[in-house]
Amino acid sequence: MNSGMDSKEYAGQMAGFVEHWLGNPASRAVLKFAAARCPQCGRRIDLALRDFLGLSPKMCIKCKASSSVINRLLSFLIEKNNISRKDAEIAFADPMWRKGLSSVMEGIAEFGPKKPFTAFVPFLVVWNITRACNLSCKHCYESALVKDSDELNTEEALKAVDGLAEAGVAYLAISGGEPLVRKDLFEIIQRIRKNEMAFSIATNGTLLTRENARQLKSLGCLYAQVSLDGAKPLTHNRFRGSEAFERTIEGIKNAVSEGLLVGIAMTVTQHNYKEVPAALDLAEKLGAGLFMHYNFIPAGRGKEIIGLDISPEKREELLAWLAGQIGKRKIPVLSTAPQFSSACKKIGKPCALTHFDVISQDTKFGDSISFLADFVGGCGAGRLYMAMEPNGDFEPCVFMPIKIGNIRKDSLLETWHKNIALNKMRKREEFWGNCGICENRSACGGCRARAYGYFADVQGPDPGCIKNLEYWKRLKGESKEISLVAGVMPKHLP
């Protein structure tokens, strides 16, 4: 590191440099050229990264020129950030990183260097691969039970995978329903891997046999996310049905013993709020690799138990406690509440950039990447990520039942670039309530699914945040007046 400058200052300076560089119209034009997709050769950024790795990809003369520009810029940034060339090569050898970086650079070229930024193509698609489920949990956002009559069949699902890969998606998070009830699941996963996309799976754990875990591991599953709603059988089973707890624990043990990384996901409501510390202890004891607090969102069957949502005060307390656990625990502690980044910042913990950000909890990186919070931007719906339903419907987030297209007939890229709801979600300055004027607007943005679930408006306030307390009170019938900090009166409030 340069003399007299700590990593935070240095990272800030680098961010300033990149912003300044991108703010210059001439460099933007260079980036547009370099980040284009060539009809002959493919994604130019990806080609340049392969070139960086010495893989000599086939390139036309224009692609060769862009590769040379990108490689010079990369070498400069790597050197200035004291990253060894070997480390950079290891990262770029992973197709997920290459695709991710391509989406970022293409996104900056297309949408500009905004805070937070929007990727050219969703980096991640959460695919609810089936609505069928062997359980019937009370808070299920997908109202899962039986298979939809229009669910994508095997052939259509394989075609969907190819389509998502062609658009440039880096990572598919398979969810449901219960994905493990789909007989063709492993065939679909094989196609995902053939297309060099990363994948993970979200499951209730009850069907995670050793054989299933072994197969997932051998196919390169990044991690299995298992839902656990409490540390006691009674708490979990109250939501998920009798004996679910025991079967889920068994599934977690199977996965851990097969070497599969397990993430414990706990949806917190008034029922299990007090059990969070014990559930985190249990996650560690079981050998899980991470613990994730899931924000309750009133979607699907969750709407029927909306009264169990925790208050903004309780959420604030919970997030502060979770942030305090970072570094004290053996495993990363995460939250899907986008306010988590400011909870971390408040107590000087490395900022969680977005839901699945475990990197910034690594002390090796810590400070040097926390400056990215404003770019990565908390809620990723419509900017970094979107969802796909069992029948191929595109949605901004799995918790937001707004159909924005369908893979059977619509282009993913066109939907991503032109859809009105997505574009509204990207304009945080137009959000109402405190989310529109908040000092954490770039790094957080509020959970758009909660805003939609409560106010039927993707630009509404997230009423789970302490800064939107007046809206929460209004929803609870405890307040007649809306008097927010800056006195912004929403036009749309019923």
Contacts of 216 (CB under 8 A, 6+ apart): 189, 201, 224, 255, 260
Q: Which entry of ligand SF4, Zn ion, none binds 121, CB below 5 to 8 A by partner kind?
A: none
Size of the site for ligand SF4 (CB under 6 A): 26
- Cβ–Cβ < 8 Å for 216, 260: yes
* Smallest separation (angstroms) from ligand SF4 to the CB of 435: 3
* Smallest separation (angstroms) from ligand SF4 to the CB of 208: 24
Look up residue 393 and give its two tokens. Answer: 């419907």
Task: Confirm or reject binding of residue 41 to Zn ion (CB under 5 A).
Answer: yes
Look up residue 493 and give its two tokens. Answer: 């409030």
> Rule CB under 5 A: which of 49-108 touch Zn ion?
60, 63
Query: With respect to ligand SF4, which residue has the nearer C-beta, 199 or 452?
Result: 452
Q: Which of these, 456, 394, 454, 444, lies nearest to 419 by C-alpha position?
A: 394
Binding mask 424-463 for ligand SF4 (x = CB under 6 A): ----------xx--x-xx--xxxxxx------------x-
For residue 463, the tally of other CB atoms under 10 A from its CB is 26
CA distances from 39 to 62, 162, 170 (A): 11, 18, 20
Could you give the CA distance from residue 375 to residue 368 in angstroms, rounded to a whole number? 14
> Rule CB under 6 A: which of 324-383 touch ligand SF4?
336, 338-339, 342, 355, 379-381
Q: Which entry of ligand SF4, Zn ion, none binds 173, CB below 5 to 8 A by partner kind?
A: none
Q: Which entry of ligand SF4, Zn ion, none binds 445, CB below 5 to 8 A by partner kind?
A: ligand SF4
Could you give the CA distance from residue 438 to residue 435 in angstroms, rounded to a whole number? 5
> Rule CB under 6 A: which of 376-405 touch ligand SF4?
379-381, 397, 399-400
Q: Which entry of ligand SF4, Zn ion, none binds 105, CB below 5 to 8 A by partner kind?
A: none
Query: With respect to Zn ion, which residue has the nearer C-beta, 39 or 54?
Result: 39
Q: Which entry of ligand SF4, Zn ion, none binds 440, CB below 5 to 8 A by partner kind?
A: ligand SF4
* Smallest separation (angstroms) from Zn ion to the CB of 44: 7
Task: Confirm or reject binding of residue 35 to Zn ion (CB under 5 A).
Answer: no
Size of the site for Zn ion (CB under 5 A): 5
* Smallest separation (angstroms) from ligand SF4 to the CB of 338: 5
Q: Which entry of ligand SF4, Zn ion, none binds 467, CB below 5 to 8 A by partner kind?
A: ligand SF4
Roughly what angle, to the nearest 10 degrees, separates helices 312-325 and 276-286?
30
- Cβ–Cβ < 8 Å for 357, 366: no
Query: With respect to Zn ion, which residue has the nearer C-beta, 57 or 95?
Result: 57
Q: Which entry of ligand SF4, Zn ion, none binds 255, CB below 5 to 8 A by partner kind?
A: none
Task: Confirm or reject binding of residue 38 to Zn ion (CB under 5 A).
Answer: yes
CA distances from 182 to 131, 189, 396 (A): 10, 11, 24
Classify each residue of 277-308 as buried b or exposed e, where b means 16 or more C-beta atoms within 10 Å of its C-beta: eebbebbeebebbbbbbbbbbbbbbbeebbeb
Contact pick of 3, 4, 25, 40 for Zn ion (by CB under 5 A): 40
- Interaction site with ligand SF4 (CB under 6 A): 336, 338-339, 342, 355, 379-381, 397, 399-400, 434-435, 438, 440-441, 444-449, 462, 465, 467-468
